[in-house]
Amino acid sequence: MVLIISLYLSPCLLQQNDGQFTVIQLVGMMRGISAGMKYLSEMNYVHRDLAARNILVNSNLVCKVSDFGLSRYLQDDTSDPSYTSSLGGKIPVRWTAPEAIAYRKFTSASDVWSYGIVMWEVMSFGERPYWDMSNQDVSIIVMLNF
């Protein structure tokens, strides 16, 4: 018999609580996210889809990173721990680091870029990154400016 135990976190959306959280609470949420991402990095995993939509938040504002569908294990016995995805696969452009957009190369550093976008999402109460741009325009702007 296989028993699966799952943590239940009640929904708590930033957009539904726009302006109701203090800066201290928001920073606490970001600390929880960073702790989860630090753990993933220490275990040699790259998330590849870190975004506010993939963060579960409980009623105490404790954040848990979720949705590991795009996550990959990074071989730790190489000089360059990275994962290169095949062409044609979809990537979350608005949260993706320039090197991952250009070369499809994902590392813990590209997850740090995504975390920066998540911090912006948290502090803006869930606004969509680059809200006034198409995915193609986001790719161009990110590649040209970084």
Q: Which residues are catalytic?
A: 49
Helix axes 23-42, 108-123, angle to 10 degrees: 170
Alpha-carbon distances, residue 74 vs 26, 37, 41, 53, 80 (angstroms): 31, 14, 9, 24, 9
- DSSP state letter for 78: S
Residue 30 is encoded by which pair of tokens? 């970001």
Residue pair 34/26 in contact by the 8 Å Cβ criterion: no
